[in-house]
Amino acid sequence: MPLLFVGIDPATEKDKSPTVWVDQETNELVFQGWKPGAELEAECAAFEVPGHAKGIPSDEAVIRVPARMVHMIRKACDVVERADVP
């Protein structure tokens, strides 16, 4: 999986590292972030979206990324949009 590093949260401590990449093979955004607390994860799992089952599928996860990384996420979106996506 050829990852393109886009950015890391500059305000986190040395042992913390919310990060955003682009998987150049699949043209998907890849995030590393903080695990949510039990309360937030439960709220996400209980959220109802029409046409979808409640809960968080076992192959998915809820993560948190700081709002100060929005510009990095936009940059990653631009990379994916410029890719030749079918």
Q: Which tens digits make up the pLDDT trace of 21-52?
A: 999 999 999 999 999 999 999 999 999 999 99
pLDDT at res. 83: 81
Tell me: the pLDDT tens digits for 3-16? Answer: 999 999 999 888 88
pTM of the model: 0.83
17-45 per-residue burial string, b: 16 or more CB within 10 A, e: under 16: ebbbbbeeeeeeebbebeeeeeeeeeeee
Residue 84 has pLDDT above 80, yes or no: no
Q: For residue 76, what pLDDT band results from cuts at 50, 70 and 90? A: very high
